[in-house]
A and B are shown apart, each in its own frame.
Chain A
Amino acid sequence: MSPSGAEWTEITADGILPTSRQARLAQRGVHLDNQLLASLLAAQPVSEGVLMVETTLPSLPPGHLGMIVPRTRLFINRPKAHDLGWDAITAAGVFVLTGSASLAAGAQLFQRALRMMRVLAADEADLAIVMANLSEGRPTDISLPISRIESAYEEDSAKVAPLLKGLRKRGIAVEDGEGWRLVD
């Protein structure tokens, strides 16, 4: 299968997430495995029609069905990605893979994370990702002192408290005696 048409752009795994967002997250201590993120998104039905793989298969004898690791090129349909809310989709991917290196584990959590990301603004989604990172992938189990979250934000630390309050108001985060955590 080969994606054709002007709407398709070839990307690498590193280009799944916009560079600016990657830089912003990296500044806050979130380092991505882009190949794992691309793999996770490529496995999700939500990416059908958005993310397409062009495969170059090595020649096989006729009729053979080979389990191979083929040469592949990744393409994205940016207009369709925009229509589908790609930012929320990628944020959900980053969220479930942060603190967990397993594609299988991330895939199990993806749908729930996507439902959450669909209702968050970009800066709120980033905060959820930072909390997932600080809690080593357990943002609903481990409460984080606000000071820890603020220190991840460095000079932007003043943004943290209003963002958390906004999440709490919508039932996405709670504050307990030990700090802040997301709601399951």
Chain B
Amino acid sequence: MVGYHDGVDSWTLDLASGMGGSFQSFVSLHERSHQALHETTAWGTAMTILGLVPVADQPDRASRFWEWMGRGCRETHEQFATLAAVESSTEGLNHLAGNYAYLQYYRSAVGLLAPLTHDVPWVAAADLMYRLVMSPAWLLELDLSALLDCDHYTSPGTTPDEALTDLRHALSDETTVTGLLSAMAGQPTYGERWDAAALALRPHGIRLHDWAAYEAWVPAIILEYNKRRGRAVVLVDSTTGDPTLSRIEAMQRERLTLHAGPLALTWAKAQNPGPSLSPAQIARTHEELGPHVVLAWLHPEVLRKQSVGVPDAWAAPRLGLLACDRRIDPSLLLWVDFDDAPPSVVAASIRKTPFAPLLMTTLYTLQASDGSIDFRGWAPVFVSVDTPIVEFLESALSREEVLSYWVLGTGGSRYLNHVVVQFNDDSALNFVYTCSVMTSRAVDDWLTGKEGVTRRSAEEFTHRAGLAAFIEHLVGSFWLLELGRWPAAPPEQDGPLPTG
């Protein structure tokens, strides 16, 4: 498994195998294409909403119905995503050498669209044909309650994969092909092209919804869903506005797994750490930084995401020495706990030892921290961005803050890029978004040319040794990188935290 889409609203790349380079981007594109097909069709919208409704709020049959929907669009999804990933890169097909199953998806997609692609670009043909089959008319007869109440045993209607088979037959008919080409070339708006194409397929028994019905159904079902508890769904018109913003908003859904699973947490109070958490167990060395310890200010939810065995009583952000030990099986995450001791005081104490303190926290932790927490003496601080980066940076830019950023790669066993952001020429606080190459490109494209934003060259970054060590620790200790998915929204923070 190199990557998967969860059938709801995000996808995951498995980087534990060391997947990098253009293959990583290929898989990223493939999974992103699943998301694109999901979020722009009635079938995908229904699956997303059904998948987001908390399990406690839905009858068992709703989850079985969701599973049925997933099975019913697999071929359609894989053909579309494989074609999109291959055709988006000149070398794309090379990544499928020896992977006959996906070559077969690709072959099927190319074969399906061949009658159309002599006259229209493959993008236009794939975009319309695969979205059409993901849009059965019967689905729009269901509101949210009906959707939750639906039972696939009663055969609610055709699935996308069944429609895909019908479409293949339809495309062997010259009159239909002429009708579809005429629909694609002769109609000025997407909606009109959609309706004309759906009409051309009707004689073949393919019953698809019309565009106006879809435009009415989507906001209605989202409105109905948002009245319930759970993650909100936002309706976005991606045909207008800044396309680079749409792209990064999509890409920031991407999750990266760095290891097979979370580590077990071994922890002790700083007053009495014991031999398993002695300085020798916690201290690390780095060729440029030298001997050091990682002093981390982390929300317990961050620790819970990355490890198992975090005490239930831990509720607020806390200070600790963090390390991981992967020399033993199972590997451990080590934490020497200072509770809520002032970070500046502990950092000052560490500086009196042979070890330098490497200071890290996360954006979620900072957003949930008391504003009065004393961070003086933390310089440089590396803040791992773990809440949606677009909202974070847009909020800063709306306050007219000046922003410098770097896109840096680091060596090591995981192929990752890091978008490092500093505000108002304060080089102490470094917000680090660790992500795939594709996602870093999307951030880069979105930030380029924005007022108040400067892209800096790698040579201008003054904390390279510290960053490299921070990344090494992050990749060692954390198993999952994702933005969001926290149990409760943290309180708003006014801006970057002061440092001394």
Chain A residues in contact with chain B, CB under 8 A? Answer: 35-36, 38-39, 42-45, 47-48, 52-53, 55, 58, 60-70, 72, 74, 102-104, 107
Contact = CB atoms under 8 A, between A and B. Distances in A.
A68 to B, nearest CB: 5
A104 B91 contact: yes
B162 to A, nearest CB: 14
Interface string B63-96: 1001101100010011001000000001111101
Nearest to A33: B97
Contacts of B78: 65
B8 A63 contact: yes
B350 interface: no
Contacts of A60: 4
Contacts of B1: 58, 66-68
B7 interface: yes
B98 interface: yes
A43 B108 CA distance: 8
Interface in B120-155: none
B90 A104 contact: yes
Contacts of B74: 65
Interface string B101-115: 111101110110010
A67 B77 CA distance: 11
Contacts of B96: 39, 43, 103
Contact of A72 (B34, B63, B90, B100): B100
B27 interface: yes
Contacts of A103: 93-94, 96-97
A36 B97 CA distance: 6
A42 B97 CA distance: 10
A102 B95 CA distance: 10
A27 B273 CA distance: 72
Contacts of A64: 4-7, 70
A42 B102 CA distance: 9
Given A64-B7, A67-B3, A43 B103 contact: yes
Given A65-B4, A65-B34, A102 B94 contact: yes
Given A62-B70, A63-B47, A66-B4, A48 B107 contact: yes
A102 B2 CA distance: 22
A63 B94 contact: no
A10 B89 CA distance: 32
Given A44-B107, A48-B108, A48-B111, A67 B97 contact: no
A39 B8 contact: no
A184 B315 CA distance: 72
A45 B107 contact: yes
B51 interface: yes
Given A65-B74, A66-B3, A39 B97 contact: yes
A32 to B, nearest CB: 14
A62 B30 CA distance: 19
Given A63-B70, A102-B91, A69 B2 contact: yes
Nearest to A66: B4
Nearest to B34: A65
Contacts of B91: 102, 104
- Among A43, A47, A48, A55, max chain B CB count under 10 A is at A43
B31 interface: yes
Contacts of A65: 4-5, 7, 34, 70, 74, 77-78, 81
Nearest to A52: B104
A42 B51 CA distance: 35
B100 A39 contact: yes
A68 B6 contact: no
A55 B114 CA distance: 25
Given A35-B97, A104-B92, A104-B94, A67 B106 contact: no
A60 B77 CA distance: 15
For the complex of A and B, 7 pairs with smallest distance between CB atoms: A63-B7, A63-B70, A45-B111, A66-B4, A62-B67, A104-B93, A42-B103
A62 B66 contact: yes
Interface string B22-49: 0000010011001000000000000100
Contacts of A102: 91, 94
Contacts of B107: 42-45, 47-48
Contacts of B90: 104
A107 B110 CA distance: 12
Contacts of B103: 39, 42-43, 53
28 contacts: A35-B98, A39-B96, A39-B100, A42-B100, A42-B103, A42-B104, A42-B107, A48-B111, A53-B101, A60-B4, A63-B6, A63-B67, A63-B69, A64-B6, A64-B7, A65-B4, A66-B4, A67-B3, A67-B4, A67-B30, A67-B31, A67-B81, A67-B102, A68-B1, A69-B2, A72-B101, A102-B91, A103-B94
B93 A43 contact: yes
B239 interface: no
Nearest to A69: B99
A58 B225 CA distance: 33
- Among B34, B90, B98, max chain A CB count under 10 A is at B98
B66 to A, nearest CB: 6
Given A55-B100, A103-B93, 15 more contacts: A39-B100, A43-B103, A43-B106, A53-B101, A53-B103, A62-B7, A62-B70, A63-B70, A64-B4, A64-B7, A67-B30, A72-B100, A102-B91, A103-B94, A104-B93
B113 to A, nearest CB: 10
A63 B51 contact: yes
Interface in B238-290: none
